[in-house]
């Protein structure tokens, strides 16, 4: 026991000082897409390469739906002109579904909840996590937020076991038919006012399972979503940034 305590003291303070200090992201990290429209000749090679139909052409300009995007990079490999690039910007969350569209318009990131809601939830937000048929990638990157490095609890955000103790739901997965009723019952069991946060491409649009007969193409058709955090899976800092911004703690 003494050796363990001595070892822990030597380790020092391990929680990363986010959001005061920008996180260090891995070299392979693909963040917010950047479009170079002046290079595009409308060959649509990127559109054909996208596995989820996240890329479309609007007025001969490329448009990427981050709610469908898997951030796989297949589009960048397919495009001979380098129209699409993935930046290191981990800030991806949005309050409205259409704000996940990346085109030639100004990007609108997530905004904090209203003043009245911040008064109620700004210092403490309890979430019930619902895995609605996910592959466990988004679930893993959500669960890691409770570890020493990220320490979600320092922002007053905690995961709880019962929906009756929760202020909202954090949904992952495409919402399979077997989880549709469970998600709805969980939502109904949470006292109002409440929030729904969709994490990952599956929970937002169905992800790679979009259009499948056994999924609901995300949570929005079952429960009203207040915050969308895209990715496949989203980086833990992407999720943390979305939650902290949502509470007005950024």
Assess if residue 234 is contained within a domain.
Answer: yes
Q: How do residues 86-129 score in pLDDT, each as one tens digit?
A: 999 999 999 999 999 999 888 899 999 888 888 888 788 999 99
Q: Is the dihedral of CA 191, 194, 200, 201 positive or negative?
A: positive
Q: How do residues 161-192 score in pLDDT, each as one tens digit?
A: 999 999 999 999 999 999 999 999 999 999 99
Domain count, the chain: 1
Assess if residue 41 is contained within a domain.
Answer: no
122, exposed or middle or buried, with CB in 10 Å at 0-12, 13-18, 19+? middle
Assess if residue 128 is contained within a domain.
Answer: yes
Return the percentage of the chain with pLDDT > 90, whole number.
78
Instruction: Please provide the DSSP assignment of 157-187 as one string.
Output: EEE-S-GGG-SEEEEES--BHHHHHHHHHHH
CA-nearest of 111, 92, 95, 125 to 238 is 92
Assess if residue 202 is contained within a domain.
Answer: yes
Helix (H, G, I), strand (E, B) or coil at 96: coil
pLDDT for res 8: 74
Q: Is residue 249 very low, low, confident or very high in pLDDT (cuts 50, 70, 90)? A: confident
Helix H segments across 29-148?
A: 45-49, 74-78, 115-121, 137-143
pLDDT for res 90: 97
Assess if residue 242 is contained within a domain.
Answer: yes
CA-nearest of 132, 120, 116 to 203 is 132
pLDDT for res 52: 95
Assess if residue 65 is contained within a domain.
Answer: no
pLDDT for res 244: 95
Minimum mean pLDDT range among 113-117, 195-199, 237-241: 113-117
Assess if residue 93 is contained within a domain.
Answer: no
Full residue range of the structural domain in which residue 156 is found: 115-246
CATH number of the domain residue 239 falls in: 3.40.50.12280
For residues 232 and 56, give the distance between their C-alpha atoms in angstroms, rounded to a whole number. 19
Assess if residue 61 is contained within a domain.
Answer: no
For residues 160 and 125, give the distance between their C-alpha atoms in angstroms, rounded to a whole number. 10
What's the whole-model pTM score? 0.93
DSSP state of 247: T
């Amino acid at each position: 026991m003494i050796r363990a305590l001595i070892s822990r003291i030597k380790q020092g303070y391990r929680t990363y000082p986010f959001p005061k200090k920008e996180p260090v992201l891995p070299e392979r990290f693909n963040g917010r897409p950047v479009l170079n429209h002046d290079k595009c000749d409308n060959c649509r090679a990127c559109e054909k390469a996208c596995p989820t139909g996240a890329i479309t052409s609007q007025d001969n300009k490329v448009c990427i739906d981050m709610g469908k995007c898997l951030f796989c990079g297949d589009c960048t490999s397919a495009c001979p002109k380098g129209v699409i690039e993935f930046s290191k910007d981990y800030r991806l969350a949005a309050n409205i579904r259409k704000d996940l569209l990346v085109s030639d318009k100004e990007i609108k990131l997530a905004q904090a909840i209203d003043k009245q809601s911040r008064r109620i939830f700004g210092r403490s937000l309890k979430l019930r996590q619902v895995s609605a048929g996910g592959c466990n990638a988004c679930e893993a990157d959500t669960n890691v937020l409770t570890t020493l490095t990220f320490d979600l609890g320092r922002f007053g955000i905690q995961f709880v076991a019962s929906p009756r103790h929760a202020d909202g739901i954090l949904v992952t997965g495409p919402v399979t038919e077997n989880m549709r009723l469970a998600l709805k019952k969980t939502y109904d069991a949470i006292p109002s006012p409440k929030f729904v946060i969709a994490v990952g491409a599956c929970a937002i649009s169905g992800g790679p399972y979009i259009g499948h007969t056994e999924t609901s193409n995300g949570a929005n058709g079952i429960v009203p979503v207040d915050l969308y955090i895209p990715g496949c899976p989203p980086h833990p800092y992407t999720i943390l940034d979305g939650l902290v911004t949502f509470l007005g703690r950024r």
